[in-house]
């Protein structure tokens, strides 16, 4: 089979085939069809030369590049190519060797149409947006979270003191940072035990539910033990750095979390190594869709206005693929059709350089079915974390009720101090 055998413009994929949308940019001297054929071949069952063991039966499993629109190419994959229920195998196929092909100058996996049998083969979120809101008894407004900063270095005692201030100031969730796990100055078990004791105190004082996104990131068996500790100590959430731990660990931890009744917060640290370049790598849409299928309850999607690259059309597309059940093809934002078949929703998390002055922007962009995380934007408040938390809550109230922040700040000193300190600046 030559590479162009993996191109068939007359092919109309069935509803049961997986379709991948790629941005394919060939090197000089290679045609787009040649390049697309190589991608379809290498990501299904072809290689660089004919093999005598190829047969008509095996040929039927070959992927087909069938639709071309500029550098955009759709490739259809027979479902039998995949092991249902295995996210590592899906990524090893359509996000595997192909990025290294010499014939390509650039290649980016932009989006996927997931066929019904593949969607059914994954559990989806255990709690979903409804379940997360039930845990916190927060019905309508965005859920607020804060990472105690400096992100790593505080002792357990310092961490827990900051946690108390954050919770009583008005933030719902304390969150570990992506690289805080169990360091010599802040051991995991001690941190969780002392933080949850402080959580109980903060709940009593505020009359509000409070919880903690505990980062269990570690080698799998250690993650399992840490999740068990969180459950034993009365926690409701675990946080996992899903890309540095990998799809296999996440699938196994989804089962562990189910057994323990814990919600999963997905941190996406490492994603920008391959999602940022619009011409090469894998889009954050594919990461978010894979994570929703495997079953995370919340995941970071960016802010548009904060310190980390997150373009508007990407952030809104992420929110749609995480919160909606069905989506028609949206060529503008390069979203292929979706049908999550009633799987629970995953809550988009907006985080990265946020502070009270940016809360109205985030709500304008993402609506209220979100979590907003502000670390520096709370711990950096001139009056301290409790006031920083209060300022976030006040900004949220004002934005939810259409009151200009300046107006509301007139008789809310914490918000006034935050606006005097940061105004509406967009950090870079």
State in angstroms the smallest separation of the CB of 349 from ligand CAP.
Answer: 7
Question: Is-catalytic flag, 149?
Answer: yes
Between 42 and 177, CB nearer to Mg ion: 177
End-to-end CA distance of the chain: 50
Partner in contact with 201, chosen from Mg ion, ligand CAP, none, beta carbon below 5 to 8 Å by kind? none
Is residue 256 a contact residue for ligand CAP (CB under 6 A)?
Answer: no
Contacts of 52 (CB under 8 A, 6+ apart): none
Three-state secondary structure call for residue 270: coil
- What is d(CA 122, CA 42) in angstroms, rounded to the nearest whole number? 25
Question: Is-catalytic flag, 300?
Answer: no
State in angstroms the smallest separation of the CB of 132 from Mg ion.
Answer: 19
Binders of ligand CAP among 280-299, rule CB under 6 A?
none
Determine how β-strand 298-300 pairs with β-strand 263-267: parallel
Between 13 and 377, CB nearer to ligand CAP: 377
Q: Site for ligand CAP (CB under 6 A): which residue of 42, 178, 289, 297?
A: 178
Closest chain position to ligand CAP (CB): 375
Is residue 191 a contact residue for ligand CAP (CB under 6 A)?
Answer: no
Using CB under 6 A as the binding criterion, the count of chain residues that bind ligand CAP stands at 19
Report CA dihedral (37, 39, 41, 44) to the nearest 10 degrees: -140
Q: Decide if 344 contacts 314 (C-beta within 8 A).
A: no
Is residue 268 a contact residue for ligand CAP (CB under 6 A)?
Answer: yes
- What is d(CA 26, CA 139) in angstroms, rounded to the nearest whole number? 50
Binders of Mg ion among 178-237, rule CB under 5 A?
178
Is residue 177 a contact residue for ligand CAP (CB under 6 A)?
Answer: yes
Is residue 177 a contact residue for Mg ion (CB under 5 A)?
Answer: yes
Burial of 175 (0-12, 13-18, 19+ CB in 10 A): buried
- What is d(CA 331, CA 43) in angstroms, rounded to the nearest whole number? 23
- The residue from 64, 74, 149, 421 that is catalytic is 149
Between 74 and 268, CB nearer to ligand CAP: 268
Contacts of 28 (CB under 8 A, 6+ apart): none
State in angstroms the smallest separation of the CB of 352 from ligand CAP.
Answer: 3
State in angstroms the smallest separation of the CB of 295 from ligand CAP.
Answer: 19
Between 151 and 278, CB nearer to ligand CAP: 151
In order, the DSSP letters of 2-24 are: -GGGGB-TT----TTSEEEEEEE
Query: Which residues are known to be catalytic?
Result: 149, 267
């Amino acid at each position: 089979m030559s590479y162009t055998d993996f191109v068939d413009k007359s092919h109309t994929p069935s509803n049961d085939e997986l379709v991948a949308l790629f941005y394919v940019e060939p090197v000089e001297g290679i045609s787009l069809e040649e390049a697309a054929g190589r991608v379809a071949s290498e990501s299904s069952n072809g290689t660089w030369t004919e093999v005598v063991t190829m047969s008509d039966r095996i040929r039927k499993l070959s992927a087909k590049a069938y639709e071309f629109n500029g550098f955009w190419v759709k490739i259809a994959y027979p479902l039998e190519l995949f092991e249902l229920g295995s996210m590592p195998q899906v990524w090893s196929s359509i996000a595997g060797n192909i990025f290294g092909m010499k014939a390509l100058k650039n290649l980016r996996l932009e989006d996927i149409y997931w066929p019904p049998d593949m969607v059914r083969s994954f559990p989806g979120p255990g709690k979903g947006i409804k379940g997360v809101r039930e845990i916190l008894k927060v019905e309508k407004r965005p859920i607020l979270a804060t990472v105690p900063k400096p992100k790593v270095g505080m002792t357990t005692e310092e961490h827990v003191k900051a946690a108390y201030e954050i919770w009583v100031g008005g933030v719902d969730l304390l969150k570990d940072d992506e690289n805080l796990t169990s360091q010599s100055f802040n051991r995991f078990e001690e941190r969780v035990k002392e933080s949850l004791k402080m959580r109980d105190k903060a709940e009593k004082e505020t009359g509000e539910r409070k919880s903690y996104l505990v980062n269990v990131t570690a080698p799998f068996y250690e993650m399992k033990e840490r999740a068990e500790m969180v459950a034993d100590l009365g926690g409701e959430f675990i946080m996992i750095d899903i890309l540095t731990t990998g799809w296999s660990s996440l699938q196994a931890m989804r089962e562990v979390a189910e057994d323990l009744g814990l919600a999963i917060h997905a941190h996406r640290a490492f994603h920008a190594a391959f999602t940022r370049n619009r011409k090469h790598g894998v889009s954050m849409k594919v990461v978010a869709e894979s994570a929703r299928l495997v079953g995370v309850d919340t995941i970071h999607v960016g802010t548009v206005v904060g310190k980390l690259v997150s373009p508007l059309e990407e952030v809104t597309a992420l929110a749609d693929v995480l919160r909606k059940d069905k989506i028609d093809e949206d060529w503008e934002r390069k979203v292929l059709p979706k049908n999550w078949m009633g799987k629970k929703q995953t809550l988009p998390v907006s985080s990265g350089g946020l502070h009270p002055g940016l809360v109205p922007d985030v709500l304008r962009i993402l609506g209220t079915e979100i979590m907003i995380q502000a670390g520096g934007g709370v711990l950096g408040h001139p009056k301290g974390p409790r006031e920083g938390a209060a300022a976030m809550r006040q900004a949220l109230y004002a934005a939810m009720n259409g009151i200009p922040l300046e107006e509301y700040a007139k008789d809310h000193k914490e918000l006034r101090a935050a606006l005097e300190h940061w105004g509406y600046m967009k950090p870079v």
